[in-house]
Chain A
Amino acid sequence: MAAQMKSKNYRAKQRNTRYLIYAILIIMAVIWLFPIVWIVLTSFRKEGGAFVPYIMPKSFTLSNYTKLIADATGSYPFVRWFLNTLFVAICSCILSTFITIAMAYSLSRLRFKLRRPFLKVALVLNMFPGFMSMIAVYYILKALDLTQSLFALILIYSAGAALGFYVAKGFFDTIPMALDESAMIDGANKWEIFTKITIPLSKPIIVYTALMAFMGPWMDFIFAKVIMGDDVKNYTVAIGLYSMMNKTTANSLFMSFTAGCVLIAIPITLLFIYMQKYYVEGITSGSVK
Chain B
Amino acid sequence: MFKKAYKEQHIPFRTLFKDGDFATKLAFVVMGAANLANRQFVKGLLFLAAEVGFLAWFVGNGIHALAMLQTLGTKKQGLVYSADLGIDVLQKGDNSMLLLLFGISALLVCIVIIILYIVNLKSARHIYELKQAGDPVPTLKQDLNSLVNERFHMTLMTIPLLGVLFFTILPLLYMVSIAFTNYDHTHLPPKNLFTWVGLKNFSNVITGDMASTFFPVLSWTLIWAIFATITCFFFGIILALLINTKGIRFKKMWRTIFVVTIAVPQFVSLLTMHNLLNDAGPINAILKNMGLITQSIPFLTDPTLAKISIIMVNMWIGIPTTMLISTGIIQNLDQEQIEAARIDGANKFQIFRAITFPQILFVMMPALIQQFIGNINNFNVIYLLTGGGPSNSNYYGAGSTDLLVTWLYNLTVNTMDYNLASVIGILIFILSAVFSLWAYTRTNSYKEA
Contact = CB atoms under 8 A, between A and B. Distances in A.
B433 interface: yes
A29 B146 CA distance: 57
B324 A280 contact: yes
Contact of B268 (A189, A261, A289): A261
Contacts, number: 274
B38 interface: no
A253 B297 CA distance: 27
A185 B412 CA distance: 57
A127 B373 contact: yes
Interface stretch (A1-9, A63-71, A102-110): A102-110
Contact of A111 (B2, B263, B289, B364): B2
B259 A273 contact: yes
Interface residues on B, range: 35 or more
A132 B178 contact: yes
Interface in A103-143: 103, 105-106, 108, 110-113, 119-120, 123-129, 131-137, 139-140
Interface in A25-78: 25, 28-29, 31-36, 38-39, 50-55
Contacts of A32: 257-258, 260-261, 316, 320
Nearest to B405: A129
A216 B437 CA distance: 26
B418 interface: yes
A102 B248 contact: no
A79 interface: no
Contact of A129 (B280, B316, B425, B437): B425
Interface string A181-212: 10010000111101000000000000000000
A161 B174 contact: no
Interface in B388-422: 405, 408-409, 412, 418, 421-422
A163 interface: yes
Given A111-B2, A127-B373, A284-B325, A289 B444 contact: yes
B6 A113 contact: yes
B445 interface: yes
A265 interface: yes
Contacts of A127: 373, 377, 428-429, 432-433, 436
A51 B445 contact: no
Interface in B246-272: 247-248, 254-269, 271-272
B1 A18 contact: no
A242 interface: yes
A221 interface: yes
B166 A272 contact: no
A190 B149 contact: yes
A139 to B, nearest CB: 6
Contacts of A137: 167, 171
B445 A189 contact: no
Contact of A24 (B172, B242, B281): B242
A287 B261 contact: no
B449 interface: yes
A140 B171 contact: yes
A147 B407 CA distance: 27
26 contacts: A32-B257, A35-B269, A35-B273, A38-B276, A53-B288, A110-B153, A110-B156, A119-B446, A123-B436, A127-B373, A127-B433, A128-B428, A129-B405, A136-B175, A139-B98, A166-B366, A166-B445, A170-B444, A190-B152, A241-B267, A245-B271, A265-B263, A272-B263, A280-B328, A287-B362, A287-B445
Per CB-CB distance, the 9 closest pairs between chain A and chain B, nearest first, are: A159-B163, A53-B285, A133-B171, A162-B160, A191-B148, A136-B171, A272-B263, A190-B152, A124-B433
Interface of A: 14, 17-18, 21-22, 24-25, 28-29, 31-36, 38-39, 50-55, 99, 102-103, 105-106, 108, 110-113, 119-120, 123-129, 131-137, 139-140, 155-156, 158-163, 166, 169-170, 173, 177, 181, 184, 189-192, 194, 215, 218-219, 221, 238, 241-242, 245, 258, 261, 264-265, 268-269, 271-273, 276, 279-281, 283-284, 286-289
